[in-house]
Structure 1
Amino acid sequence: MTSLDPPVPGPVTGSRYVVIGAGLAGAATAWHLARDGHEVTLVERTRPAATDGSSHGSARIFRYGYTDRLYAELVVRSRAGFDELEALVGRQLITPTGSVDFGEERDPRALAAVLAGLGVEHELLPRAQAQHRFPQLAPDTDVLWHPGAGVIDAEGTVQAMVDLAVGAGAQLATDWPVAEVRRVGSGYRLLSEDGRTIDAERVVVAAGGWLPTLLPRLPLPAGFRSGLPPLEVSQENAYHFPYRDTPEQSWPTSIHGSAAIQTYTLPGGRDAQFRGQKVAEFNAGLKLSTAAHQTGVIDPANRARVIAYVEQYLPGLVPEPYAQTTCLFTNTPTEDFVIDGVDGITIVSACSGHGAKFAPVTGELAAAVATGDGARVPDRFRLGAAKAPVRA
């Protein structure tokens, strides 16, 4: 069986820990629990890194550029986790590309100040110098460049963590959609949609865009439930544009924020035959109540906006997409994550469109909450903490 083959499900009836959801957050949590010697079962609605979830494919951005120091610090920790993963599985999970940030809303100088404080290599480039170095781009401000950024193979990372978890003794149950979690004695019983059951002492819920559907079916105390932030699922649009010329060097990822539009770009990887750059408008998709309502239909108005953006700011691309797709974001109002628990149930929502790069550290924090060491989790991710919007 290759690393990307669907795992073979087996019968499972009980486990001390059960993790719901085998995307990046759930797979990371199962890996951390299993490596620490805990009995754990990872249950997945279909298969790990499912194509209708948020962790599929080969192209997610890994970057350090946050004006919010907490997140920048966590990226540094997460990079160490990815390094460990790559060493353990013997393959590359982050392809180095470097990254550029520009636009008034990105505030390159503020980003540079945070990276300087953390010792992260970077340069603040005047606009003309940046355009000379990166002629495929047309920045509208000074540019922050940091070479340590890259592109995450999301599906490969999920599979690596699943393989390591199973190798450490975890069980994997695929094609196991959770319909409900019930309190049974001092533990819990998970019921699948076809009536199968798994008993657990403790449950970690990392259900991504299906979390809004599952939340009412969890036996959570009213006080804890009321402290959860609203979760908004959105169906985002992404497009692959071909390179105008064969790149002489790898294209960087980019984050651009102006008053008119916020975008991100990155090399498309095997998702689009390595032929071009993936370009998307950030958080501009169709709002859904749950992932089950996604349509997979591209918004033509969004497509036109992104093509116009490419024409203006990305002269190194042909402004006609050769491929397009939709994907899911699960957003909190502040774009902060939720990692907290009560009575043996842990909720993990590493979301808001910027969670992929944190997968190893998200799993570490979620496992800490599940095992009773929630003090290790930043207050920002706990319920009831005062929240301010993330400056991503």
Structure 2
Amino acid sequence: MSASSVIVIGAGLAGAAAAWQLARRGHDVVVLERTEPANHWGSSHGSARIFRYAYPDALYTRLVVEARRGWDELEREGAMPLISAVGAVDHGDRRDPVRLARVLADQGVAHELLSAAEATDRWGGIAFDGAVLWHDEAGVIDAEGAVNTMLRLAVAAGATVRTGWPVAAVSPRGAGYMAVSSTGDVVEAEQVVVAAGGWLPDLLGGLGIGAERLAAFPSLEVRQEQAFHFPYRDSADVWPTIIHKSAPIQVYALPGGRDAEFRGQKVAEYNGGHAIRSAAWHDRAIDPVRRERVVAYVRENLPGLVPEPYAETTCLFTNTAGEDFVIDRIDGITILSPCSGHGAKFAPLLGEYVARLVEGDGDVPDRFRPLTAGVRA
């Protein structure tokens, strides 16, 4: 199809990826960001997000393989390293490393299945309680660096980025749409991409997508996650990323990146933060009870770390009940919500999906398109 003018709402990983992919295809793109790209009030700040292939669901593993090609392209075009290959370990009875290994084998991803003793020989600072999955192509994404790189490339391709522009509503205007800010400013375009992250619950009702479609949208739960950085006992250590799921706690950990001085591991409970109405209620406050719970976990399960956090932060998870993404289009509005704390690794591919929808191509997994399921059936 011919190029369109497109508004992209939000300049986190999802919005930046959409802007990059659309602009490089010749679309006239304007990004509207309520504060600054990759800001601390959203889900894409800092330099440490997990890149991994291990999923119990083969769909997501296959999509990671596709997304990795996009990351490679982004690093080449942006002349910027964005993924540090440190590998990943997965363990715990609720994580089921044996099942994960089968999925990786089916998708052709190199991996090893280790006993607890074998894993302890490699990573003596981590306590293992059963089989351990290792895959060395996993790593750590520089989230903020990725956002800035994608926006830089988008701008080079003709896009405009407007900061300090909080969108209050979107409504039809002529043959297209207009976005209205909370101060009454207006931007018009033929199509709109909504990548508002934790602000989406507040914005959904103002998109004019109709009650029936709105009712089909999966319920969203926004959580204010708590992450804590613990120093390595041996300052020369560089650990892999870790996912440990075993009752009563689910924990993920990864090297902390430059925002934690590269000297420790970032450790957090998965969905361990408290629920808030939307990102507008994000106060960035650390819960001392949750801090102590993570400290206790580190003390028992990560003996290679000093169990005293030297830095801490909050981050938003915007969850759907099934942890699936929402990437769907209604008329000229595309909603991009890569939810549930695991969307960062797919960013370049998510931008491709948005470009396909904007250009009228429906080649997006059906599971991600709940708003038009009945229409397409």
Interval of TM-score (by shorter of Structure 1 and Structure 2): over 0.9
Contact 2:328 2:372 in 1 (8 A): no
Q: Which runs of 4+ in 1 moved over 4 A?
A: none
Shift of 1:259: 1.7
Per-residue CA distance 1:121-143 (angstroms, 9 max, x = gap): 10000110111111010111110
Counterpart AA for 1:373 = D
Question: Within the alignment, does 1:79 sit opposite 2:68 as a pair?
Answer: yes
Q: Secondary structure at the match of 1:380?
A: helix
Post-superposition offset of 1:247 = 2.8
Displacement of 1:352 in angstroms is: 0.4
TM-score in terms of structure 2 length: 0.96
> Any idea what SS the aligned residue of 1:309 has?
helix
- Preserved contact between residue 235 and residue 286 of structure 1 (Cα < 8 Å): yes
Choose which of 248, 267, 270 in structure 2 pairs with 1:279.
267
Moved more, 365-374 or 52-61: 365-374
Distance across 2 between alignment mates of 1:186 and 1:385: 21
Distance in 2 between residues matched to 1:50 and 1:259, nearest whole Å: 33
Deviation at 1:385, TM superposition (A): 8.6
| 1:380 maps onto 2:356 in alignment | no
Q: Percent identity?
A: 61
* Corresponding residue of 1:313: 301
Is the Cα–Cα contact under 8 Å of residues 329 and 372 in structure 2 kept in the other structure?
no
Provide, for residues 23-49 of structure 1, a one-character-per-residue CA deviation record: whole Å limited to 9, x for no partner.
000110111111111111111111111
Does structure 1 conserve the Cα–Cα contact (< 8 Å) formed by 2:213 and 2:371?
no
Describe how 1:325-364 pairs up with structure 2 within 5 A: 325-364=313-352
Tell me, what secondary structure is at the counterpart of 1:363? helix
For the residues of structure 1 that align with 2:193 and 2:26, how far apart are their CA atoms?
16
Alignment-derived partner of residue 244 in structure 2: 256
What are the equivalent positions in structure 2 for 1:218-297 lying under 5 Å apart?
A: 218-248=207-237, 250-297=238-285
Report the 3-state secondary structure (helix = DSSP H, G, I; strand = E; otherwise coil) of the residue aligned with 1:137: coil
Whether the aligned pair in 2 keeps the contact of 1:81 and 1:361 (CA below 8 Å) is yes
* Structure 2 contact 18–352 (Cα < 8 Å) conserved: yes
Distance 1:87 1:148 in 2: 18
Aligned-partner SS, 1:334? coil
1:384, distance to aligned residue in structure 2 (A): 5.7
Residue 93 (structure 1) aligns with: 82
Alignment RMSD (CA, Å): 1.2
Instruction: Answer yes or no: is the 8 Å Cα contact 1:379–1:385 preserved in 2.
Output: no
Q: Secondary structure at the match of 1:224?
A: helix
* Contact kept? 2:320, 2:340, Cα under 8 Å: yes
Matches within 5 A, 1:92-241: 92-241=81-230
CA distance in 1 between counterparts of 2:170 and 2:12 reads 19
What is the aligned counterpart of 2:19 among 30, 34, 40? Answer: 30
Q: CA deviation at 1:70?
A: 0.4
User: Does the Cα contact within 8 Å between 1:241 and 1:276 map onto a contact in 2?
Assistant: yes
Question: Counterparts of 1:291 and 1:179 in 2: how far apart (Å)?
Answer: 14
1 CA distance for matches of 2:328 and 2:49? 25
Q: Are the equivalent residues in 2 in contact too, given 1:97–1:150 (CA < 8 A)?
A: yes
Whether the aligned pair in 2 keeps the contact of 1:191 and 1:197 (CA below 8 Å) is: yes
- For the 8 Å contact 1:34–1:170, the answer to whether it is kept is yes
SS class of match (1:264): strand
Q: Which runs of 5+ in 2 are unaligned?
A: none
Residue 103 of structure 1: how far off its partner (Å)? 0.1
Q: TM-score, normalization: structure 1? A: 0.93
